[in-house]
Each structure stands twice: as C-alpha cells, then as structure tokens.
Amino acid sequence: MQHALFGGGCFWCTEAVFLQLKGVSAVTSGYAGGHVQQPSYEQICNGDTQHAEVILVQYDETQISFAQLLDVFFATHDPTTLNRQGNDVGTQYRSVIYYFNDTQQQQAEQAIDALKAEGLKIVTELSPAPIFYPAEDYHQNFFARNPSQGYCNFAIPPKLMKLHSKFQDLLKD
C-alpha cells in the first residue's frame, strides 16, 4: 500500500471524494504543515498553527496510480484560489500536495506544469510530507455518517457529480 497526502479545502469534502475511488482502502482526515504538535480542530480553525486540513489516502497502486489520484485532486477542488475553497477561507483550506518520495514530487510537478500550460494560475503548494496528525474521531468519514448535514449537502454533491462524470473508470463498483 502507498500513501498520498492532499489538502484541497475542507477535509470532509476531499475525504468524501477519495473514498469513492477503487484501490483506495482508507482515507483519514487530519492536519499537516503547521508548527503545533497534536493540533485540535479549534486550534487550526483560527489559522495560527498554519496547519492545512488534509487527507491521508492509503491506496493500492496496482489499482490506481498516484497520477490518477492527482487528476482527481485537481478536478475536484479549485487549485487557483489561494487559501480558499468556496466559502471556506483561511490558510487551513489551502491547496497542497505533500509528497512522500521523489516519484510523487515529479508527478505532482508534471501535473502542475500541465495545468499551467493550459493557462491556469495554480497556487497549489508542493512540499515534502510533514508529520500528519489525524483529526478528531468525529471528523472521520464525516459525510457518510452525516449525509444531511447542511454544509455537506451544499459542498460535497457537486464534487461527487464531477467525480462521477469525469472518472467513472476509477470508481468503486
């Protein structure tokens, strides 16, 4: 099993998307990239810790590649807005790819370069994977456990529709 670490806004949203993908065996919401050890949700929400809301994706590269995960990542959030995804504003909602090895770094750089070649102004941060801190239990698998929660109903269905229309071949059966 391999790991990928992405931040694309609210981790409830990114988690809901990546859980739909074949080859993905687990998605853990959490925090990375800040200066406080074991941060809480309340701490990162004020923006002082500099952590991003992220998801740690565990995947089987014989079923889905890192490049395919990158395609889904870029298609299901806005990598052109700095520290913002929709109504979520702050450094904790930044677009970020944390890489675990040289191959992930190179593939992420290639994906970013390809988007820039299309004329997009990509602000996605690309950095080595820092310490990952799992979020509190109530954040894990949030959308599946709270499908009628207001924010989830507003933000997640459009992402899932885009996923289902563009990446049918990557979806779990």
Domain ranges of the chain: 2-168
Distances (CA, A) of 92 to 41, 59, 99, 104, 143: 10, 24, 18, 22, 19
Cα gap 162→77, rounded to integer Å: 10
Per residue in 66-91, pLDDT (tens digit) is 999 999 999 999 999 999 998 899 99
Is residue 173 pLDDT above 90, yes or no?
no
Q: What is the pTM of this model?
A: 0.96
pLDDT confidence bin for 169, thresholds 50/70/90: very high
Cα gap 4→19, rounded to integer Å: 13
Query: What is the C-alpha end-to-end distance of the chain, expressed in Å?
Result: 20
Per residue in 19-69, pLDDT (tens digit) is 999 999 999 999 999 999 999 999 999 888 999 999 999 999 999 999 999
Known catalytic residue at 10: yes
Q: Which residue has the tokens 């080859």?
A: 23
Q: Which residue has the tokens 């979520």?
A: 88
CA 150 to chain centre: 20
Q: Let me know the angle formed at the C-alpha of 36 by 30 and 41, rounded to the nearest 5 degrees.
A: 40
Domain 2-168 classification at class level: alpha beta
pLDDT at 63: 98
> Which one from 10, 13, 45, 152 is the annotated catalytic residue?
10
